[in-house]
Amino acid sequence: MWASGAQTVHLVLDPLTDLTAPRDNSHDLLMSRSGGGWWRLNVPDATPGTDYAYSIDGGRPLPDPRSQWQPYGIHGPSRTLDHSEFVWTDQAWQPPPLSAAVLYEIHVGTFTPHGTFESAIQKLDHLVQLGVTHIELMPVAEFPGERGWGYDGVDLFAPHHAYGGPEGLKRFVDVCHSRDIAVLLDVVYNHLGPDGNYLSAFGPYFTERYHTPWGQAVNLDGPGSMEVRRFLCDNARSWLRDYHLDGLRLDAIHAIFDSSAVHFLEQLANEIYDLETEAGRHFDLIAENDLNDPRVVTSKEAGGYGLDAQWNDDFHHALHSVLTGEQIGYYSDFGKLEDLAASLKNVYVYGGRYSEYRKRIQGRHVCDLPAHRFVGFLQNHDQVGNRARGDRASQLLSIRMLKIGATLVLCAPFVPLLFQGEEFGADTPFLYFTDHRDPALAAAVSKGRREEFASFGWNPEEIPDPQDRCSFESSKLEWGQIEQHPHDDILHWYRCMIVLRRSHPALQDGSLDRLDVDYSESDSWLTLYRQSIAVVCNLSGERLSLSLRFAGEPVLASDPNFKMQGNVVEMPAETVLIIEQTAKRAVS
Amino acid sequence: MWASGAQTVHLVLDPLTDLTAPRDNSHDLLMSRSGGGWWRLNVPDATPGTDYAYSIDGGRPLPDPRSQWQPYGIHGPSRTLDHSEFVWTDQAWQPPPLSAAVLYEIHVGTFTPHGTFESAIQKLDHLVQLGVTHIELMPVAEFPGERGWGYDGVDLFAPHHAYGGPEGLKRFVDVCHSRDIAVLLDVVYNHLGPDGNYLSAFGPYFTERYHTPWGQAVNLDGPGSMEVRRFLCDNARSWLRDYHLDGLRLDAIHAIFDSSAVHFLEQLANEIYDLETEAGRHFDLIAENDLNDPRVVTSKEAGGYGLDAQWNDDFHHALHSVLTGEQIGYYSDFGKLEDLAASLKNVYVYGGRYSEYRKRIQGRHVCDLPAHRFVGFLQNHDQVGNRARGDRASQLLSIRMLKIGATLVLCAPFVPLLFQGEEFGADTPFLYFTDHRDPALAAAVSKGRREEFASFGWNPEEIPDPQDRCSFESSKLEWGQIEQHPHDDILHWYRCMIVLRRSHPALQDGSLDRLDVDYSESDSWLTLYRQSIAVVCNLSGERLSLSLRFAGEPVLASDPNFKMQGNVVEMPAETVLIIEQTAKRAVS
């Protein structure tokens, strides 16, 4: 174990569950220095399943920063684990490429009533039928309490005990692979949660050189940073190697500050690339990035970091604000069909433009990158959960408009991502919820949430309290809805759209050169052309007659009451129609 | 003028010299808002030479952040200036390329007894005879008081009044150009000095997101940053356009924090590239960078920032520690001939290696970049002035060793840079000196200097006080030395070496592929091969017999008592010998 500033380190075997309780330290085992801040001890008795902790300079026992398993939560002892004990059945598994992917984001705790990996397995039939190729798990690394989004995790190597721990995650991944579904995991390397964060006792994991909105910035370029980078890279490797995950979603990389000549993300991409050779499988690294910086997904040879993809928030914001008419907060930078068209064609709306909301120039123009380096979505945990009352697009939009939104996500050139329940228009919210046990922290979280939305004019009493167990419970999907109207209708549309995408190479084409968009701001229609496919959207409240670039055959319509004559189509209000140019006409 | 947070802005014409004095504000002129935080007023009376200041929200008058001229120093009023009034005579001027350059760093205040641009002109004959192609001026932007290094400048557009102001700088550059010498200027964009820094009253020039060792970090990526970037880019453009400078040395870019998708340095390089087209001349941007990051000087097409060159501190540290045997502070990472050989061959010694001094991985391997993207030196203002007593290499080394150092700088593949007086082994020190008028700041600077060196074991009383006028005066070059022994001998060697470099294309070759180094750590010799030239250094205290890769003819020797037979050379202690492979032998 690494504790670079320690004078002595003791291993505490089988500590009390409450590490703060008074105890007899006479059996603590003194560890030996091993160079570079590392400490070693060979403990033949410590078989898999042994509980342990570390005492730094005679202090009270602390969990292992690299703990594989925290059966009692963030404040309890760590437990040893032998990864070779799990019997994997996925030897033949190879994940599909992102270019052919449909991603589906899951929060384990609310995806099913039980909120465990095991119960999530029961829903794989549904995902297979839907056509999902990749599940993306929200963070599972041990975080405070029994429920939470997971972005304040502190034991980065330990799958959360309430979800089913290491064994549960392995079984989930193994079964997913047997159903031809890849599994990605959301990991948070920009900060660690405040509660249960004992890392500073071990070494210089954090720095004061930079500030993040959520806590101390991680030390990636100061003294001691080599081992901090090692810690995070080893964490990424562990998820992929020991848990057979197929890739990682890297949370908020714009808050990963590193001025080293080799950026942490580039090092990570290099190491994961090497791991691919070792494992014989491909891994995907997908970044969340608020900077609209194509360098992240540019190849290393071209001076980039070489990640596989990044989330395209601009596409979401443009689509959401066009569909809902919302213009508050960051949506104030969007709202026009021009923006939506720009994001479909150029990836970013703000690719080097001044943003009124940000009061600065945002982003950089995307040149010569395939659209599959970007993930597109109508909803995700943040876009739903960061609303005061966690309402989904299905609460904000008519079903007619919702179908247009789904169609644009699934016909866009980006890798589509759905958020759990989106496919059937779940009317359960996805609220912000936490389970902090520290009273001061709990109160601060509740107060912070109220104040955040008060600034947008909300009555504080209307804001669900994150600490209230109901916020968690009410966020659980109600699977009974799936058979009910209108959820069945929405689900049918999503299924059709995914079939359409996966069966038409034109819709999975990643070349932005072969994509065109026509639109009319005043008449409120937009047509997306993807080679021989036209996706015609009437976003207005009125029946419209539109001219297309070509004549063709209707493939799918959200409302059958349309008319076509040559390249003119007449469509009811708030409908979408997909037309395929016939081969004959294309030739003529 | 830009004052984005102001409610009102008044122009104060002909204010008192003491801007803090009580005054009648009834004649202040109210300015008009003009969008984006800009304020305008057309003042026909304000002819060139008019003194003025700004009052923000009725506050006391402040100098203009973009002041062109501060005749009374940092706390006084600004003065208008018409750049078109100066009559330039350098219409035909084109600077030589860096690949053929010999740089010479000057501190205007100590270069001559008078310490002005005008008196510096008197020394141009000497520099022409020496073979200097580019003068690099230490910062001249208005800084506190009458003397200082200039890195705490606050009026970035105003040449220091004590040096001769705008007119003085223009005349200096014009005369340099007439003597075929290009002029580069050191500019500081990572922070601004604490004293006289009124910028925060005008807009969000600074940020708390990042920390620099010298003061608040400049806001290059937060709200309002577009105008801050504009301010700095316009500053760079002004020096090149209005003062005909040939390039800029960008101070400590590792402290220029910017996470925008287009880094400030890339924007700057783009804008200066555009200015080249406009001006019809080439401009050089040279960075000081402590990160050993080749991205800075990598072309934009290859994902870099596209700067022209950067200082190579590793070469300096390797050379200095080999010659002096010093191993304290950052020299602890160096000291072996292996390091010197590595920097000659690979540019960086730390190009992705763990640094014990930094306690982290430093740098990145340089691939496929010409060596002319890097500046090499035995001395510069920092390496001399940041020593407790400002001693030069000529105080630390025997003349024999000094000549070896000079030879390696001038035969290295990097663009050589000399520090004023180095060429004649000046024995005046270059001390740290300031002229802060704020008593608290003055005391803090004096105390800080004492404490810094006390930590290296110095007696505080031996540390010259930066505020003491003697620290400045004693740092002035004594030009009488130039004719005296041994200074004349040193100067002769430097002149010969520069002639040698400029007359031998092999020595100016930027390809690291065509360079080789042999050395023996135990016998203390090193031979640098540059195509047909061998630079043979006996760094030991004993006469040595060495085998070379080829036989040749001696070109230059620091001691005539050497012997050659075939490819074996016998050399006296602490000598350097330059051998050229004869064409006949090369063919045989």
Q: Mind listing the pLDDT tens digit for each residue in A360-389? A: 999 999 999 999 999 999 999 999 999 999
Task: Kindly state whether residue B86 falls inside one of the protein's structural domains.
Answer: no
Partner-chain contact A360 B254, CB within 8 Å: no
Q: Is the dihedral of CA A78, A82, A88, A94 positive or negative?
A: positive
* DSSP annotation of B297: G
Average pLDDT over residues B36-61: 95
Q: Is the pLDDT of residue B585 over 80?
A: no
Q: Tell me what the mean pLDDT of segment B497-506 comes to.
A: 96
Instruction: Report residue A582's pLDDT band, with 50, 70 and 90 as the boundaries.
Output: confident
- Considering CB atoms only, which of B262, B354, B363 is closest to A226? B354
Instruction: Please list every residue in chain B whose beta carbon sits closer than 8 Å to the beta carbon of residue A303.
Output: 295, 298, 302-304
| A584 — pLDDT class (breaks 50, 70, 90) | low
Residue B586 binned pLDDT confidence (cut-offs 50, 70, 90)? very low
Claim to verify: residue B479 and residue B448 sit in the same structural domain: yes
Q: Which residues contact A579 (CB under 8 A, 6 or more apart)?
A: A533, A534, A536, A548, A552, A553, A554, A555, A564, A569
Spell out which chain B residues touch chain A, with contact meaning CB-CB distance below 8 angstroms. Answer: 208-211, 221-226, 229, 254, 257, 259-262, 291-295, 298, 302-304, 352, 354, 358-364
Residues of A forming the active site: 251, 288
Which of the residues B4, B256, B260, B369 would you substitute to probe the A interface, choosing the one with the greatest number of A C-beta atoms within 10 Å?
Answer: B260
Q: Which residues of B touch A225 (CB under 8 A)?
A: 360-361
- Section B75-87 average pLDDT: 97
The answer for A252, left when phi > 0, alpha when psi is -120 to 50, beta otherwise, is left
Last residue of a domain, one of A62, A82, A111: A62
The alpha carbon torsion through A50, A54, A58, A61 (nearest 10 deg) reads -70
pLDDT of residue A585: 45
Say if B23 falls within a structural domain: yes
Task: Using an 8 Å CB-CB cutoff, list chain A residues near B295.
Answer: 261, 303
Q: Considering only the beta carbons, identify the residue of A210, A303, A358 that sits closest to B303.
A: A303
Q: How many of the other CB atoms lie within 10 Å of CB of A89?
A: 10
Under an 8 A CB cutoff, do A261 and B362 touch? yes
pLDDT-based confidence at residue B584 (cuts at 50, 70, 90): low
What percentage of chain A has pLDDT greater than the value 70?
Answer: 99
Q: Phi/psi class of residue A202: alpha, beta or left (left: φ > 0; alpha: ψ in -120 to 50)?
A: alpha
Last residue of a domain, one of B42, B62, B82: B62
The verdict on a CB contact (< 8 Å) between B302 and A298 is no
User: Is A108 inside any structural domain?
Assistant: no
Report chain A's mean pLDDT, rounded to a whole number.
Answer: 96
Total domains in chain A come to 2
What is the spatial distance between Cα A346 and Cα A327, in angstroms, rounded to a whole number? 22
- Asked whether residue A456 is domain-assigned, the answer is no
Model confidence over B559-571: pLDDT tens digits? 999 999 999 999 9
Among chain A residues, the shortest Cα distance to B361 is held by A226
B304 to chain A, closest Cα gap in Å: 7
Picking from A210, A358, A364, the nearest residue to B262 by CB comes out as A364
Last residue of a domain, one of B62, B79, B109: B62
Which residue in B444, B451, B331 sits closest to B388, CA to CA? Answer: B451
Tell me the pLDDT tens digit for each residue of A58-89.
999 999 999 999 999 999 999 999 999 999 99
- Is B312 a member of any domain? yes
ipTM metric = 0.91
Segment B455-474, tens digit of pLDDT: 888 998 899 999 999 999 99
- pTM for the structure as a whole: 0.94
A275: left (phi over 0), alpha (psi -120 to 50) or beta: alpha
pLDDT for A522 equals: 97
Q: Which of A225, A260, A362 sits opposite B291 (nearest CB)?
A: A260
Q: Is B340 in the same domain as B370?
A: yes
Nearest by Cα to B284 from B269, B264, B296, B299? B269
- pLDDT confidence band for A455 (50 / 70 / 90): confident
Residue B251 among the catalytic residues: yes
Residues 6+ away with beta carbon under 8 Å from B106: B120, B135, B136, B137, B138, B420
Contacts with A304 from chain B: Cβ below 8 Å: 303
- The rounded mean pLDDT for chain B is 96
Same domain, B515 and B495: no
pLDDT in the model for residue B62: 98
CATH number of the domain enclosing A546? 2.60.40.1180
Quick one: closest CA in A to B257, which residue? A259
Q: Which of A259, A261, A360 lies closest to B221 in CB terms?
A: A360
Residue A22, domain extent: 1-62
Asked if the structure places residue A54 within a domain, the reply is yes
We report the CATH number of the domain holding residue B113 as 3.20.20.80
Q: Is residue A216 part of a domain?
A: no
Contact A226 B361 (CB under 8 A): yes
pLDDT at B214 over 50: yes
Residues B412 and B524 in one domain: no
Residue B336, helix vs strand vs coil: coil
Of A391, A400, A392, which Cα lies nearest the Cα of A458? A391
CATH of the domain at B27: 2.60.40.10
For the stretch B149-195, pLDDT in tens is 999 999 999 999 999 999 999 999 999 999 999 999 999 999 999 99
Measured in angstroms, the CA of B115 and the nearest CA of chain A are apart by: 38
CB–CB contact A261 B293 (8 Å): yes
Per-residue pLDDT band for A46 (boundaries 50, 70, 90) equals: confident
Q: Do B260 and A291 touch (CB under 8 A)?
A: yes
Asked whether residue B566 is domain-assigned, the answer is yes
- Which chain A positions have a beta carbon within 8 Å of B302's beta carbon? 302-303
Q: Verify that B435 and B532 share a domain, yes or no.
A: no
CA distance B296 to B307: 6
The whole-angstrom distance between residue B148's C-alpha and the CA centroid of its chain comes to 15
∠ CA A396-A343-B36, nearest 5°, is: 90
- pLDDT number for residue B588: 38
**Selection from B103, B121, B132, B111 nearest residue B167 by Cα:** B121
Residues B204 and B279 in one domain: yes
**CA A38/CA A206 separation, integer angstroms:** 18
